[in-house]
Amino acid sequence: MAALLNQVFFPSTFQELFNAWNRFPGAVPYAGGTGLIRGQGKEILDLPPIILSLDKLEDLQRITRTERYLEIGAMVKLNQIIRIGKIVPEALTRCLEKIAGVQLRNIATIGGNICYPTRRLDVSAPLAALDAQFELRSTQSTRWISASRFSSLPGPTALNPQELLTRIRVPLDQWDYSIYKKFSSGRHLNSSEVMVFMMKTQKNVLTDIRVIFKTNTILRDKNSEAILIGKHLPLSNRIAADFVQSWETFLSGMPDVEELSKKELVNCIELNVYNLSE
């Protein structure tokens, strides 16, 4: 009986995967395993009793590119994405480069980072800023969900039971200014805080801006962004100050965000927006 309770499946097709998942609804997908075994310094690892290894699903390893999108399979390793080179939007590359060390990035997958069940990891911030979409597959259907919605839904995960993340579609827009900042990683053992600040310009007019702050959720304030859209560069000091003030007001309505985090974020926003001013 014990053998029945500890099993690892290696499906090579989605049909095999979902057949096994239907038989064992509590089975857990295993990508690189770095999240599943994180923090275990023991000789014998604690693993879920029934594992669905995603290793042999070739569709999940694919990277494809069209004129408008980069499509990344959920099993693509973090370092493989960095190595694609300069077509990868800068905010995403900078984020990946700051995740742990090279050995971990050779094993950890983008799907595992997005689907980590107990907290929001770093990749969700640039993917939300870039308007990425996730393909989610279950026995019966396939659906697409935006990265920002996936990362903002309440609860430990936006995945339905027995649902698999299969593909990440990243728009290949040209962003003229991309900043990725990771805050004081030592302060929170259980969650990191990162900011993405990106903007597009056309003939010195600011045509789009995204500022995303990730704590355990994704924060974005479209009212603040509207203050800058359509303005000429360099910005006037008054408009830069209005933008900072607007973010302060937005954050004051977020009791779950620590005061120190708010201060760090506002300082960083201030620095970046005044860089664009007279």
Ligand X SMILES: Cc1cc2nc3c(=O)[nH]c(=O)nc-3n(C[C@H](O)[C@H](O)[C@H](O)COP(=O)(O)OP(=O)(O)OC[C@H]3O[C@@H](n4cnc5c(N)ncnc54)[C@H](O)[C@@H]3O)c2cc1C
- Is residue 215 classed exposed, middle or buried when 0-12, 13-18 and 19+ CB atoms within 10 A define those classes? buried
Binding piece for ligand X, criterion CB under 6 A, among 104-112, 173-181, 210-218, 233-241: 104-112
Asked whether position 73 contacts ligand X by CB under 6 A, the answer is: no
Asked whether position 116 contacts ligand X by CB under 6 A, the answer is: yes
Cα angle: 133, vertex 105, 33; to 5 degrees: 80
We find the least distance from the C-beta atom of residue 26 to ligand X, in angstroms, to be 11
The residue from 80, 93, 109, 178 that contacts ligand X (CB under 6 A) is 109
Shorter beta-carbon distance to ligand X: residue 115 or 206: 115
We find the least distance from the C-beta atom of residue 219 to ligand X, in angstroms, to be 17
Asked whether position 143 contacts ligand X by CB under 6 A, the answer is: no
Shorter beta-carbon distance to ligand X: residue 159 or 179: 159
We find the least distance from the C-beta atom of residue 184 to ligand X, in angstroms, to be 12
Asked whether position 225 contacts ligand X by CB under 6 A, the answer is: no
Asked whether position 150 contacts ligand X by CB under 6 A, the answer is: no
Asked whether position 76 contacts ligand X by CB under 6 A, the answer is: no
**Which 3 state secondary structure label does DSSP give 68?**
coil
Asked whether position 34 contacts ligand X by CB under 6 A, the answer is: yes
Q: Compute the distance between CA of residue 67 and CA of residue 69 in angstroms, rounded to an integer.
A: 6
| Position closest to ligand X via CB | 112
The dihedral region occupied by 142, where left means phi > 0, alpha psi between -120 and 50, and beta the remainder, is: beta
Q: Compute the distance between CA of residue 110 and CA of residue 166 in angstroms, rounded to an integer.
A: 10
Residues 238-277 that bind ligand X (CB under 6 A): none
| Residues 154/160/165/169 CA torsion (nearest 10 deg) | -60
Asked whether position 74 contacts ligand X by CB under 6 A, the answer is: yes
Instruction: Confirm if 123 and 113 have CB atoms less than 8 A apart.
Output: yes
We find the least distance from the C-beta atom of residue 121 to ligand X, in angstroms, to be 3
Asked whether position 11 contacts ligand X by CB under 6 A, the answer is: no
- Is residue 254 classed exposed, middle or buried when 0-12, 13-18 and 19+ CB atoms within 10 A define those classes? middle
Asked whether position 108 contacts ligand X by CB under 6 A, the answer is: yes
We find the least distance from the C-beta atom of residue 39 to ligand X, in angstroms, to be 8
We find the least distance from the C-beta atom of residue 5 to ligand X, in angstroms, to be 18
We find the least distance from the C-beta atom of residue 153 to ligand X, in angstroms, to be 15
Q: What is the DSSP string of 162-204?
A: T-EEEEEEEE----SEEEEEEE-TTT-SS--EEEEEEEEEETT
Asked whether position 132 contacts ligand X by CB under 6 A, the answer is: no
Residue 181: partners with Cβ closer than 8 Å, 6 or more residues away: 194, 195, 196, 197, 268
Instruction: Confirm if 53 and 9 have CB atoms less than 8 A apart.
Output: yes
We find the least distance from the C-beta atom of residue 136 to ligand X, in angstroms, to be 8
**Which 3 state secondary structure label does DSSP give 60?**
helix
Which residues of the shown chain bind ligand X in the complex (CB under 6 A)? 28-36, 38, 54, 74, 99-100, 104, 108-109, 111-113, 115-117, 121-122, 159, 164-165, 192
